[in-house]
Amino acid sequence: MTQILEQVRAHVRAHFGTEPDSASVTFLGAEPIEVLRFRARANGPQGIVHYVSLGCSRHPMTDPTKMVADPRRGPRAEIVLRLRDPGPVTGLARSLAVLAATPAVDGVVLEADALIDLGSPIWTSPTRGVPFTAVLLGHGDIPDLTLESPLEPVTFLSATPLTAIEAAWVRVKGAEAMRQAWRNDGVDVLDPKRHAAQPD
């Protein structure tokens, strides 16, 4: 499984063309999750910071209702959270690691359009309150990483921070309706200081 993670690490480093900062988060009874932080690329949008989990794809995600889990077959994923530089914040790496650990800890299969409620602010800031307590998963910009057959590719899912109001709206209306509301309202979901959308 270490070989898979090394492939993932090399894949995302090649994608961003730079070396990341990293932090390792360990949970009792679970394997550690590393969080890689990539600063803005010279040829990319300025000020965008990418946080990428490394460890979720160590094992395939399996439906908890299945009697026997296949140790080789099943979807694999890592999580990517993008923000315009949020400045001196704390807790973000741990929150991303919690999210990436949910397949192993809670038997959750992470996929596009899934809503994951973390129940507390995703990060904390010394200068202002943080209203984001959940994330909406989507298709990310990093290409899938093909693994040796019969292993399924590693997909890179985007995680968009949500306020409690937005999370409640997703439960009622769905993921795509939330994205359309953001587009209609001109909401920059990469802005760590943004306000909640007010969809109808």
Query: Rounded to 5 degrees, what angle do the CA atoms 8, 13, 19 make?
Result: 130
**Residue 36 lies inside a defined structural domain of this protein:** yes
Range of the domain at 176: 2-185
What is the band of 87 on the pLDDT scale with cuts at 50, 70, 90? confident
For residue range 28-48, list pLDDT tens digits in order.
Answer: 777 899 999 998 654 555 689
How large is the average pLDDT for residues 15-40?
90
Instruction: State how many domains the chain has.
Output: 1
How far is CA 133 from each of CA 34, 119, 129, 159, 165, rounded to the nearest angstrom?
21, 6, 12, 12, 10
Whether residue 38 contacts residue 16, with contact meaning beta carbons closer than 8 Å, is answered with yes
**Residue 197 lies inside a defined structural domain of this protein:** no
SS3 string, the chain, reads CHHHHHHHHHHHHHHHCCCCEEEEECCCCCCCEEEEEECCCCCCCCCEEEEEEECHHHCCCCCCCCCCCCCCCCCEEEEEEEEECCCCCECHHHHHHHHHHHHHHHCCCCCCCCEEECCCCCCECCCCCCCEEEEEEEECCCCCECCCCCCCCEEEEEEEEEEHHHHHHHHHHCHHHHHHHHHHHCCCCCCCCCCCCCCC
What is the band of 198 on the pLDDT scale with cuts at 50, 70, 90? low
81: region left, alpha or beta (phi > 0 left; psi from -120 to 50 alpha): beta
What is the band of 56 on the pLDDT scale with cuts at 50, 70, 90? very high
Look at residue 63 in the predicted model and tell me its pLDDT. Answer: 67
**Residue 109 lies inside a defined structural domain of this protein:** yes
**Residue 194 lies inside a defined structural domain of this protein:** no
Count Cα neighbours of 6 within 13 Å in the Cβ-side half-sphere. Answer: 3
**Residue 145 lies inside a defined structural domain of this protein:** yes
Look at residue 69 in the predicted model and tell me its pLDDT. Answer: 59
How large is the average pLDDT for residues 85-102?
92
**Residue 195 lies inside a defined structural domain of this protein:** no
For residue range 147-193, list pLDDT tens digits in order.
Answer: 998 899 999 999 999 999 999 999 999 999 999 999 998 999 999 98
For residue range 97-139, list pLDDT tens digits in order.
Answer: 999 999 988 888 999 999 999 999 999 988 878 999 999 999 9
Which residue, 56, 79, 61, 98, is CA-closest to 138?
A: 79
**Residue 137 lies inside a defined structural domain of this protein:** yes
Is this model's pTM higher than 0.75 or not? Answer: yes
The label of the residue with tokens 């063309």 reads 17
**Residue 192 lies inside a defined structural domain of this protein:** no
Look at residue 156 in the predicted model and tell me its pLDDT. Answer: 98
Look at residue 76 in the predicted model and tell me its pLDDT. Answer: 96
